[in-house]
Amino acid sequence: MMVPQKISALQLASEKYERREYASAIELLEPLAKLGDVKAKSYLTEIYWRVEGYKDLRRAALLQKELNDNYESNTMAYELGIFREALMLLEASDDPNNGRLNSLFMSLKNSRNDRNLVLAASMAKSDRIIEQNRDNPLALYMKAFARASRLDQKIRILGLLVFEIFSPSKNAVVVYPRPRK
């Protein structure tokens, strides 16, 4: 596909996406994604993750992983990408890819971002996370509380921490925010 054709196909796909004509958008985006187009992969990830009737969480997680590979591991874009991929894999409860989920957990629990630590604490409660080298959810909530920079974040994390102390969850995944439909 020549560059002008690629640009026009991406622009047309973007317009179809905005008009919620997802089937048409997918037809235009899939070939571009196979060519490695990052914007096409981003649009497809959103469709496969969030749009009812087109949900394919495994495909969305795979596309998100490919997008994550474009970022340096110490950047905020990478941390956001692994956060999104972890949400997708957790939502795809039938996904057998626990190895990838464990890898994402290890990245998230070493994060400097309080939101990532809260997600890691939620993941630590999952029976899909391998038991060895796993941090206690309570410890991760405490790390998140210490790293939170805003008062509203600290209050929210404190609520999660208190809830975990008085009602510890076993093998339950609680992920906030839930993806919108």
- Residue by residue, DSSP assigns 20-77 as T-HHHHHHHHHHHHHTT-HHHHHHHHHHHHH-TTT--HHHHHHHHHHHHTTS-TTSHH
pLDDT (0 to 100) of residue 181: 43
Amino acid at 130: I
**Chain segment 122-136, per-residue pLDDT in tens:** 888 777 776 555 677
Q: Which residue has the higher pLDDT, 75 or 63?
A: 63
Q: What is the pTM of this model?
A: 0.75
Domain layout of the chain by residue ranges: 1-55, 64-181
Is residue 15 scored above 90 in pLDDT? Answer: yes
Q: Tell me what the mean pLDDT of segment 62-87 comes to.
A: 90
pLDDT (0 to 100) of residue 63: 96
Return the structure tokens found at 76.
Answer: 């905020």
pLDDT (0 to 100) of residue 106: 84
User: Which of 83, 157, 89, 149 is CA-nearest to residue 120?
Assistant: 83
pLDDT (0 to 100) of residue 16: 94
Return the biggest CA–CA distance within the chain.
61
Residue 96: cis peptide before it, omega within 30 degrees of 0: no
